Structure 1
Amino acid sequence: LLQGAITGDERTTGNTITTAQQAMSLFFQPDTRRRCVPGPDRPATDIASLIRRGGTIYLLGREDPYASASPLMTAAAEDILDTALTLANNSPWGRLCPPMLACLDELPSTAPLPTLRTRMANERALGIGFIYAAQTRAQLVAIFGETEARALIGLTNILVMFGGSKDIHFNREISDLVGTVRIARTTWQTSGRGGRTSSGEDIAILRPEEIRQLPERHALIVAENTRPILARLHRCIDGKAGRQLLEQQQIARETLAGKRGNQVSVQARDLAARAYAEQPDPDGDQS
C-alpha cells in the first residue's frame, strides 16, 4: 500500500507526500524526536502492561496551526485503544478486566479519532468505555461530516448539555429530545349564558432558548430512556479537597519550572540562529 502510494501518479504521490509531511511535521523538531525515541535511561512504555495494571495514560496537547500535535495524539490514542481491544479479546472473561475508560476532552481539536463511532458501537461491551467532549456540534460536523457526527451523537448513551450554545438547530433538536408535557387549560365564558371549557395542551419541557440560558454550574442530562434532569455541578477545585489539589498543582508547576531553568529558551535559540545566519560566509565571494 505504501509503495503504491509513493510510486504512482505524480499528482497522487504529491498529495500523499504533502499529507504525510503535515502529519509528521511535529517530528521535524529535533527536541521532539529526541523525546519520542527510547534510550538506555528512557525505556519504551509497555502500554499493554500499563493497561493490565489499571494505570493512567495522559495525552496533553493543543491545536496549533503551524505545528499541530493532533496527528501524533490521534495515532497514540488509536494505538492505545487497539492494545486495549487486543487484551479484551484475549481475556478469559471475554472483556477487559478491570475495564478501561477513554476520556477524550476537546475531541475535535486534540485527537479526532476516525474510528470512534465504530469503537463506541462495538467495544463498550468489551469493557472499554468512552467519554468525549466538544464545544459545539459544528466542530464534530467539520471533522467527521454531518452523517458521521449524527451517528456519533446517536450512539452516545448519556448527553450532557451546558448553557451558552448558539446553535439554534441543535438546541431545537435537544428540546424535541427532552419532550413535551401536557398541561390543562380552563377557559371561562362570562358573556351570554356563560360556561367553562377544559382542554389539554402539549408544551415543550425546555424551549431552545432555555437550553441556551442554562446557568453556570448546571447541566441538562439526557440518559437513554430515562427522564431528563437538570443537574447542579461542583468543580473539583472547590472546598478543602480543591485547595489541596491547587496546592499540588502549584508544586508540580514549580518543579517543572525549575527543571526547565537550565534549558535554552526558544527566544534565545531564535536570536542565536539569526546571528549565525547573518555572519558572512568565509568561503563565499567577498568582492
Structure 2
Amino acid sequence: MSTRPVEPRGNAGGPLTPYVLLGTAWAAIGMVWLAWLSGRIATVLTGRPWDTGPPFGGPFVQGLLRGDWATLWPDVPPLLVAAVYGLTLAVVLLPTVGGWLWWLARRPSADDPLRSLATPRDIEALTLPAVTSKARRLRPSLAHEPGKHIAPESAGVALGTLRRRTGRSPALYASWEDVVLAVMAPRAAKTTALAVPAVLHAPGAAIATSNKSDLWATTAALRAEHGRVWVFDPQQIAHVAQEWWWNPLTVVRDVESAHRLADHFIQQIRNEHQGDDFWSMGALDLLTSLILAAATSGGTLLGVQRWLSDSTSRVPAGILHDAGYLASARALTGRQAGAPETREGIYETARTAAACLANPAIMAWVTPPTRPIPALDVAGFARTADTVYLLSKDGAGNAAPLVAGLTDQILRAAVQAAEVAGGRLDPPLIACLDEAANICKIRDLPDQYSHLGSRGVVAITILQSYRQGTRVWGERGMDALWSAATCKLVGAGIDDARFAEDLSRLVGDHDVAVASRTRGSAGHDSWQTSTRRQRILDAAHVRALPKGTALLLATGMRAALITLQPWFEGPLAARLTQAVAASTEAMKTSAQAKSHTEHP
C-alpha cells in the first residue's frame, strides 16, 4: 500500500516539488492541445474540412497568444470553439480530478495505524469459513453438515467486522473453544453489540448476568422460542414475578462445597488491598460451618441467617458433630468459646458479607416457596436450550452473592456434563457475565477461564475497566484472567493510563517514513526521506478509540481494529425493538401495580 511520509508543516517545497513543476508544465501543454482539438471539432461541426487552420505546433501557439482567431479557425464562431473547449476540458478533467481525489482520500498517512494492524489474512482463523470448519470438528452434531448449510450463529460468537480503509470488511467470530474478555466503558456498546447477540444466538443453554434490565428486555422474548426463560430478579430490576426458586444448598455435600458457597458471600467484602485478612478468613470459616450444618440437616439459608444472629447458639456445632464432621464442629465450638471481642468481630464480618440473607424479598427465591412453583435444575441446565437471567443491584445487601453462587454452580455442572458427554458440550453453553465485577464475583473465575473453552462453555466476561477487575480479583487474578482469555476486546472510553500504555506496547511498533528538510549555507534546501520506529497506537490513540469500535487481541494473531455490530443494525432489529417495547410496558405496569399496593 502506497503511503505518504510525515512531512514538516509550514514549509514550502518538499521532495515532490520537481514532480509538481514537471506536471504543471505538461498540464499547460495539454490544455493548449485541447484548445487546438476543440477548434478542429468546432470546424467540423460548421461543415468545414478537419484540416482547416494551422496544425498543432509553434504557429498555432503564437496565434493563440495573439488572439488571432480568424487565422486559427477561419469562419468559425469563437463562442462555438469556447463551448466545445469547455465540454472537452470537462470530459478530460472530471475523471482525472475525481481519480486524483479518490486516490488522495485512500492514500494513508505513513503513521496510519490501520496499515499496520491485522489484515484479513492475519485473522483468517476468526472469519466465518474458518470458524465453521472448526465448529464441525468441535460439535459432533455438525460434523456431517455441509459448511454452507451451517448458520453463522451455530459456528461461533459474533465479534464484529474488521475495520479497513478499503476493500471488504469480513465478519469475525469467536469459535466454540474461545473464551472472551471485554473491557468497555459505559456507552461503548458492550451490551448492544456483544451481550445481546451472544445471548440471542446461543445454540444451547445461556446464562446472562446484569444489573440492568436491558439485556433481558431485548432477548427474553426470542429466547423463549427456543427454551424456557428463567429470570432471577429478587430486587425487582425488571419487575418479573417469581415463578421458580433455587436451593443453593442442594450441591452442598461436604466441607469443600460448603466452603465454595460461603466464599461467594465473603467475596463481597474482599478488596484488592486487604485480600484474605484475619476477619474475612474467620468469617469464611464460620460461614462454611454454618452452611454445612444447614445442608446436612436438610435446612435452608434461613437457618444460616438465624445462627449468624446468635453467636452463642450450639445447634450448628451439634449438627456437625452428629453428622460426622468432627473437625468442623470443634472449630465452630472453639470460635464461639474464644474472646468475646474476637468472636463478635468475626460474626459481624460474616453478617456483613451475608447481609442479603436478612432480606425477605431475596430469601423468597432461595427457600422453599409457599405455593407450587418449579425449582431450577442446576445439574441438567447445560443440556437444555433454556436461558437464565440473573439480575442484581449494586451496593450493600444486594443479591450478588447468590448471582455468583448460581452462576458458579451452573458452570461447574456444565463442566461435569461435558465430561460425561466425552469432553465437550454440544451445543455449547454461553455464559455472558455482564457487570461481572459488580454482581458476579466468582473468586476463581480466572482459573476457570483456562479450561472452560475446552469443555464447550464459552464465557464472555464484560468489565467497565481493567482496574475494576483488579479490585475484585487482585493484580495476579486479573492478569490471569487477561492471559487466559483467547479473545480480548477493548472498546472506547479507556481512561486508565497504565492500561492504555500496556495495550500500546502489546499492539507493537511499525516503521514510519519521515521527510526532513535541510537548508545549506548557500540557502539551498535539500529533502530526505528516512524511517523511524514508533508505536502503531500510542496510549492517546487507545483512549480515543471511536465509539462503536474495539481493539481485538486474539491469541496468536496480530491486533485488529473492528467495528462492532449492535443489534439495532441487524436483521432482527424490528422484532427486537418490538420485544423491548413490550418488555418495557410490562415492567412499567408491574412497577405501577407494586407502587399502588405499597402506597394505596
Alignment correspondent of 1:86: 416
Alignment correspondent of 2:437: 108
Amino acid at match of 1:84: A
Distance (whole Å) between structure 2 residues aligned to residue 262 and residue 35 of structure 1: 21
Per the TM alignment, residue 210 of structure 1 is displaced from its structure 2 partner at its CA by: 0.8
Query: Among 363, 367, 372, which residue is 1:33 paired with?
Result: 363
- Alpha-carbon RMSD across the aligned residues, in angstroms, is 2.7
Distance (whole Å) between structure 2 residues aligned to residue 163 and residue 232 of structure 1: 11
Distance (whole Å) between structure 1 residues aligned to residue 571 and residue 527 of structure 2: 59
Alignment correspondent of 1:125: 454
Distance (whole Å) between structure 2 residues aligned to residue 99 and residue 116 of structure 1: 18
- Is 1:170–2:505 an aligned residue pair? no
- Is 1:146–2:475 an aligned residue pair? yes
Query: TM-score, normalization: structure 2?
Result: 0.41
Query: Among 81, 99, 111, which residue is 2:428 paired with?
Result: 99
Query: Among 137, 146, 156, which residue is 2:485 paired with?
Result: 156
SS of 1:54's equivalent in the other structure is coil
Q: Which moved more, 1:80-89 or 1:178-187?
A: 178-187
Distance (whole Å) between structure 1 residues aligned to residue 472 and residue 526 of structure 2: 60
Distance (whole Å) between structure 1 residues aligned to residue 515 and residue 588 of structure 2: 70
Alignment correspondent of 1:18: 348
Alignment correspondent of 2:585: 254
Q: Is the 8 A contact 1:178 1:205 kept in 2?
A: yes
Amino acid at match of 1:122: H
Question: How many matched pairs?
Answer: 267
Distance (whole Å) between structure 2 residues aligned to residue 104 and residue 72 of structure 1: 14
Distance 1:37 1:260, change over 3 A: farther
Alignment correspondent of 2:563: 232
Amino acid at match of 1:142: R
Distance (whole Å) between structure 2 residues aligned to residue 97 and residue 150 of structure 1: 30
Alignment correspondent of 1:77: 407
Q: Is the 8 A contact 2:500 2:542 kept in 1?
A: yes
Q: Which moved more, 1:186-195 or 1:255-264?
A: 186-195
Distance 1:140 1:265, change over 3 A: farther
Q: Is the 8 A contact 2:362 2:399 kept in 1?
A: no
Q: Which moved more, 1:108-117 or 1:199-208?
A: 199-208
Distance (whole Å) between structure 2 residues aligned to residue 6 and residue 140 of structure 1: 37
Q: Is the 8 A contact 2:357 2:363 kept in 1?
A: yes
Please give the per-residue CA displacement for 1:135-191, whole angstroms capped at 9, x wherever unaligned.
Answer: 111111111111211121111111111122111011000000000111244556553
- Is 1:214–2:560 an aligned residue pair? no
Q: Is the 8 A contact 2:492 2:548 kept in 1?
A: no
Amino acid at match of 1:217: G
Alignment correspondent of 1:273: none
- Is 1:48–2:382 an aligned residue pair? no
Amino acid at match of 1:60: L
Query: Among 59, 64, 68, which residue is 2:390 paired with?
Result: 59
Distance (whole Å) between structure 2 residues aligned to residue 6 and residue 14 of structure 1: 14
| 1:198-209 mapped onto 2 (5 Å cutoff) | 199-209=530-540
Distance (whole Å) between structure 1 residues aligned to residue 353 and residue 342 of structure 2: 17
Distance (whole Å) between structure 2 residues aligned to residue 149 and residue 245 of structure 1: 34
Amino acid at match of 1:81: L
Q: Which moved more, 1:48-57 or 1:12-21?
A: 12-21
Per the TM alignment, residue 94 of structure 1 is displaced from its structure 2 partner at its CA by: 1.9
Amino acid at match of 2:347: I
Query: TM-score, normalization: structure 1?
Result: 0.81
Alignment correspondent of 2:599: 268
Per the TM alignment, residue 134 of structure 1 is displaced from its structure 2 partner at its CA by: 0.8
Q: Is the 8 A contact 1:7 1:13 kept in 2?
A: no
SS of 1:161's equivalent in the other structure is strand
Q: RCO greater where, 1 or 2, for CA within 8 Å and sep 6 or more?
A: 2
Distance (whole Å) between structure 1 residues aligned to residue 381 and residue 395 of structure 2: 29
Distance 1:41 1:254, change over 3 A: farther
Q: Is the 8 A contact 1:220 1:231 kept in 2?
A: yes
Distance 1:165 1:80, change over 3 A: same
Distance 1:200 1:259, change over 3 A: closer
Distance 1:182 1:254, change over 3 A: same
Distance 1:6 1:73, change over 3 A: farther
- Is 1:135–2:460 an aligned residue pair? no
Amino acid at match of 1:71: P
Amino acid at match of 1:22: T
SS of 2:380's equivalent in the other structure is helix
SS of 2:464's equivalent in the other structure is coil
Distance 1:216 1:262, change over 3 A: closer
SS of 2:572's equivalent in the other structure is helix
